[in-house]
């Protein structure tokens, strides 16, 4: 028996419950121009940062070593990025925003951190008169604060500028993880290239194992603290918490980053001890938190969509399907089997819009939604109705 036969669907929305499915608001011509200008500035900014980094790596490592390091640095991305996409399954973020997050980390945050850390190292060297203390001070004080600020700034911008796409803790972790993955990718290029240039295959192998295999989630885990703080701020109506939560998350991430840098700087048994006693338990706790947050989001979706089911917007079977990943997978398989690619695409839009609607309702219930929440709610209900009609 197919999913559609098992679950069934409610009929069209009750009269007067929402907008016509085809109703949509078009931005003004001036708004469209602003979007194009902003998009152009983003592309130009990324291009400039990419050129600067390419020139730097070519000058310090050479073309061949840089390309070799790029290939090796890309390997951890096959582990890290799918993990955060898995977390983002209930209410998937737009691909263009995730791409911007990755490029921000790989280009803008990496370049900014390189400039500020180099300046801090020069200042510490002038103050201490020695290289070793200056490098230690940079690793413990400058690098964690600067790098976590540069990465976390993107998460903050998404929350402030694209609030409709930022629903809470899950989104904070996802954006933070993706931007940190981009940052770690660029940083690994430098470390792997320098290891190969200075110590050959043996040094390269050790660096690859330490950075790419043992600790691929280090940067994402640090920056996720900031993302969690911003996610809490996005879900509360407390003005104090909107400031304290992001700042507290940032400082916690920077402290974890500083602890790891101190252990890495000491090397040997100190690094191994911190890795086993501190980093591994923290990582396991982070995994537990991520799994809990994902399940919590499913429960929230079921709870708040039930309110719309009471008003006739959803059937009970749809609510049950939308609140579990197994139900969503079965629904997508049914839609593809009955409607092909177009049916599958419509089901995906239906599921994403329903998740966004439920999380919007959660923010509205806690007085944490923005002024356009009611209009956004009507638009989502229209999108849900239109998508349902297509895949049926």
Tens-place pLDDT, residues 285-299: 989 988 898 888 999
CA atoms 146, 148, 149, 151: torsion sign: positive
**How much is the average pLDDT of 235-250?**
92
The token pair that represents 211 in the structure block: 């950075």
How does the average pLDDT of the chain come out, rounded?
87
Position 34 scores a pLDDT of 77
The pLDDT assigned to 2 comes to 35
pLDDT category at 7 given cuts 50, 70, 90 is very low
Closest listed residue to residue 323, CA positions, set 11, 7, 19, 83: 7
Model pLDDT, residue 118: 93
Residue 14, classed as helix, strand or coil, is coil
Which residue carries 């309110």 as its tokens?
A: 307
Q: What is the structure's pLDDT at 384? A: 94
pLDDT given for residue 94 in this prediction:
87
**pLDDT tens-digit series, residues 141-192:** 999 999 999 999 999 999 988 887 788 899 999 999 999 999 999 999 999 9
**For residues 362 and 167, what is the distance between their CA atoms, to the nearest angstrom?**
9
Judge whether 172 and 155 are in contact, CB under 8 Å.
Answer: yes
Q: Which pLDDT score is estimated for 28?
A: 56
Residues 102, 206, 148, 82: what is their CA dihedral angle, to the nearest 10 degrees?
A: 30
Q: Please report the pLDDT score of residue 235 as a whole number.
A: 86
- Among 178-182, 273-277, 355-359, the minimum mean pLDDT is found in 273-277
Assign residue 94 a region: left if phi > 0, alpha if psi is -120 to 50, beta otherwise?
beta
Check: CB of residue 18 under 8 Å from CB of residue 383.
Answer: no
Separation of alpha carbons 159 and 167, rounded Å: 9
Per-residue pLDDT band for 13 (boundaries 50, 70, 90) equals very low
pLDDT of residue 22: 44
Band of pLDDT at residue 91, cut at 50, 70 and 90 = confident
pLDDT tens-digit readout, 51-90: 999 999 989 999 999 999 999 999 999 999 999 999 988 8
């Amino acid at each position: 028996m197919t999913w559609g036969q098992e679950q069934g669907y409610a009929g069209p929305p009750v009269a007067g419950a929402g907008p016509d499915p085809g109703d949509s608001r078009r931005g003004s011509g001036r708004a469209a121009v602003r979007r194009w200008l902003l998009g152009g500035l983003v592309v130009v900014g990324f291009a400039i940062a990419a050129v600067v980094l390419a020139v730097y790596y070519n000058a310090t490592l050479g073309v061949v070593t840089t390309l070799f390091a790029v290939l090796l640095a890309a390997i951890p991305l096959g582990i890290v990025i799918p993990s955060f996409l898995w977390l983002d399954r209930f209410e998937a973020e737009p691909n263009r925003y995730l791409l911007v997050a990755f490029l921000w980390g790989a280009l803008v945050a990496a370049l900014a951190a390189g400039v500020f850390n180099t300046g801090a190292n020069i200042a510490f060297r002038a103050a201490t008169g020695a290289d070793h203390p200056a490098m230690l001070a940079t690793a413990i004080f400058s690098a964690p604060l600067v790098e976590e600020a540069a990465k976390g700034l993107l998460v903050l911008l998404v929350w402030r500028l694209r609030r409709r796409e930022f629903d809470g803790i899950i989104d904070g972790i996802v954006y933070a993880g993706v931007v940190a993955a981009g940052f770690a990718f660029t940083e690994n290029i430098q470390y792997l290239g320098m290891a190969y240039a200075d110590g050959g295959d043996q040094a390269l192998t050790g660096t690859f194992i330490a950075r790419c295999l043992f600790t691929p989630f280090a940067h994402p885990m640090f920056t996720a603290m900031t993302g969690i703080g911003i996610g809490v701020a996005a879900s509360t109506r407390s003005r104090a918490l909107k400031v304290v939560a992001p700042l507290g998350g940032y400082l916690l991430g920077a402290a974890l980053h500083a602890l790891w840098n101190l252990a890495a700087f000491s090397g040997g048994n100190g690094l191994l001890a911190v890795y086993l006693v501190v980093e591994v338990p923290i990582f396991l706790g982070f995994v537990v938190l991520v799994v809990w947050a994902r399940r919590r989001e499913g429960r929230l979706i079921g709870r708040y969509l039930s309110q719309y089911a009471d008003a006739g917007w959803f059937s009970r079977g749809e609510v049950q399907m939308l609140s579990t990943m197994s139900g969503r997978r079965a629904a997508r398989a049914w839609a593809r089997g009955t409607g092909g690619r177009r049916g599958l695409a419509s089901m995906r839009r239906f599921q994403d819009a329903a998740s966004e609607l439920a999380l919007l309702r959660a923010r509205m219930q806690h007085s944490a939604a923005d002024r356009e929440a009611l209009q956004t709610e009507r638009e989502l209900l229209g999108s849900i109705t239109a998508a349902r009609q297509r895949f049926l």
